[in-house]
Amino acid sequence: MELSRNPEWKNWISDVNATACFTTIGGGGGGFSYGIFAQAVNLTTEDSFITRYIYSLFWGFQQISTLAGNQEPSYFVWEVLFTMLIVGLGLLLFAFLIGNMQNFLQALGQRRLEMFLRRRDVEQWMNHRRLPPELRRTVKEAERHNWAATRGVNEEALLENLPEDLRREVRRHLFRFLKEVGIFNMEIHDNELDAIYEKLKQRTYKKGSEIFCTGGVVDKMVLIVRGKLKSTGEDGTVITLSQGQVCGDELLTWCRQHASSLSKGTEMGQRLISRRTVKCLTQVEVFLLREVDLKDVDSILAGCLRNPLVQDAIRKASLVKKIKVAPQKIQLRGVANRRETRGKETSSSTATWVGKAVNRRSPINQAANK
């Protein structure tokens, strides 16, 4: 409500004795000394509540930020104490600001020092091993990407120091995407998933890195957390893999087929050979399941894999992959057939031309022509 509608306020404003209080501020004729409130006296004549509130808020922030340095209190004791309170509150807030800035700078400096020491250790190791310049540059770049991804924090050591129940909750949050991958999104108990989470290892690959190469050994299953990969087959088919997808999942089936040999601990002469080349299109963050860990995973999922629903899901996933690859195979086969047909036509026409040339140059043909 605006005061301009109040008749009593209008009478007070028009009163000569009342308005004289504003003109005798700081005067020597026995005028009242308002002290630090001198600027607020004339504010009482404003009829807008918003104007008075905003100006009062501004005055409070001004006094705290300047530690009431621009104010001179009167001799009134409570006003002096109030001014001292403002000064003390401003000093306290300023001390908190300086302390927080100091802690931030110390933490930032410590992190930079750790990064510097890590790079120095890597540099000394490369000098000791006498790595060539090109390989040194690649190692430095990989170390830089790894530091940027982990911020220098060893997650495995950090999780090991946590209580078991808290460690379980943290891993469930970190690996929650696993339920969206392949057979892991079926009816698997949380305890079984917790056992799988303990086997996962985090890795970071830079752009251009090869995770699998054609003819190489498939010794891990890769679960993509972030980034994109390109999978190229022996026949030239290309598949793009992204977040939430898996490459190397055929290793799980292979381990199940050779479970007896693995359980006996015998050295197997035959290894799973990759028929595709998987290359990183961007910087990729993944979680790995090694071949030795897949034995435990297979034992955990043994009952689940016998579930008809799970087997049907695996068959559907395999069928989807084949459908995605089929058009590329057909296209490549068509190109190969066209090239082969053109080659045959070219070779037959060349043979005919050579035969005609030989016939023209033979002595018998020349005598017959004469």
Each domain of the chain, given as residue ranges in start order, spans 3-75, 154-308
pLDDT in the model for residue 186 = 60
Residue 122 CB: number of other CB atoms within 10 A?
A: 16
pLDDT in the model for residue 363 = 47
pLDDT in tens, 217-234: 888 888 888 889 998 888
CA 121, 127, 129, 135 dihedral sign is positive
pLDDT in tens, 165-207: 888 888 888 777 776 665 566 656 777 777 778 888 888 888 8
Q: How far is Cα 272 from Cα 220, in angstroms, rounded to an integer?
A: 10
CATH top class, domain 154-308: mainly beta
Q: How far is Cα 51 from Cα 48, in angstroms, rounded to an integer?
A: 5
Low-confidence ranges of the chain (pLDDT < 50): 1, 24, 26-29, 264-268, 319-320, 322-326, 328-330, 332, 335, 354, 358, 362-370
**Pairing outcome for strands 284-290 and 238-241:** unpaired
Tokens 């403002």 correspond to 86
pLDDT in the model for residue 303 = 58
Q: How far is Cα 99 from Cα 256, in angstroms, rounded to an integer?
A: 59
* Spatial CB neighbours of 152, under 8 Å, sequence gap ≥ 6: 111, 114, 115, 118
Query: How does DSSP assign 343-359, residue by residue?
Result: HHHHHHHHHHHHHHHHH
